[in-house]
Amino acid sequence: MIPPIADRFVAGESPAEALDHVRQLNGQHVKAIVNLLGEHYDDRSSVRADAAAYRALVGDISKSGLDACLSVKPSQLGLDLGEDVFREELAAVVDAAADHDVFVWIDMEDHTTTDATLDAFEALAREYGDDDQYRVGVCVQANLRRTRDDVERLADVPGKVRFVKGAYDEPAAVAYQQSARVDQEYKSLLEYVFERYDGGIGVGSHDPAMIDHAIALHDEHGTDFEIQMLMGVRETAQFDLAESYPVYQYVPFGDRWKSYFYRRMTERKENLRFGLRAILGR
């Protein structure tokens, strides 16, 4: 069982607990992006186990009638073992998901994985999607200098693109180092895609300035978009925004929750304060 405090950020250890959480979200008009926690596997059996768990999960989502999709990590599906392993396992997950009409997001990891991740995304988006129905999405990071070119390359790919600031500590040769520069780039990327993309834009940010900018661009260009935030972060805003826009909550679950929870607690003062208050009972 996930202990109190951690259960604000992680939906449970089992798929059933995760789907219970999704049911509550859907009741408040928020959709879900479900992620089984796991990354950087160096053995094929862990990769196979998580890929099988995702294939089972799409069946559960479809049977339950819940409004939920998946997000998978490349290194969870074998990228550390080789690009061929990753592509094979990812294709099997996307194939099962498409059978059950469940959408699949691919998270983006550090910059050494960007090419392999975008190549796999593009191939599957073209194979499974078309202009009327996107089946796959990928995340891009505003802190990477290359992202502007990537976003141009992805413009005619029939899939969704999630924009985030970037969670990995990257070298200056490949990434902007100042948060103000990353914010500026994020806004500028949104301007580019709201003007040129046909839709399928995911705004993966808790930052009110980024979300307001996306809403203003949507009002100006009419381009479809969705707001995506993490479980446990600015949930009141998620429920408020869901009254006017599509909002997805990223819902992690699984027994490998400790390192994810540790990251959430240490990345921001607000989260740490929440944790300490809960521990001290105040």
Closer residue to ligand FAD in complex, CB, 107/185:
107
With beta carbons less than 8 A apart as the criterion, state whether 38 and 256 touch. Answer: yes
Residues lying near ligand FAD in the complex (CB under 6 A) are found at 107-108, 139, 141, 164-168, 204-208, 210, 228-230, 233-234, 250, 268, 270-271
Is residue 99 annotated as part of the catalytic site, yes or no?
no
Residue 271 CB, shortest distance to ligand FAD, in Å, is 5
Is residue 44 annotated as part of the catalytic site, yes or no?
no
Residue 232 CB, shortest distance to ligand FAD, in Å, is 8
With beta carbons less than 8 A apart as the criterion, state whether 168 and 109 touch. Answer: yes
Residue 164 CB, shortest distance to ligand FAD, in Å, is 3
Residue 42 CB, shortest distance to ligand FAD, in Å, is 21
Catalytic one of 80, 87, 135, 162? 162
> For tokens 């009972």, what's the residue?
281
Can you tell me the distance from the alpha carbon of 210 to that of 232, in angstroms, rounded to the nearest whole number?
19
Closer residue to ligand FAD in complex, CB, 32/85:
32
Catalytic one of 107, 135, 150, 264? 107
Closer residue to ligand FAD in complex, CB, 51/164:
164
Q: Could you give the C-alpha distances from 166 to 9, 25, 77, 182, in angstroms and in order? A: 19, 26, 20, 9
Among candidates 72, 47, 45, 74, which has minimal Cα distance to 57? 72
Closer residue to ligand FAD in complex, CB, 102/211:
211
Q: Which residues are catalytic?
A: 107, 162
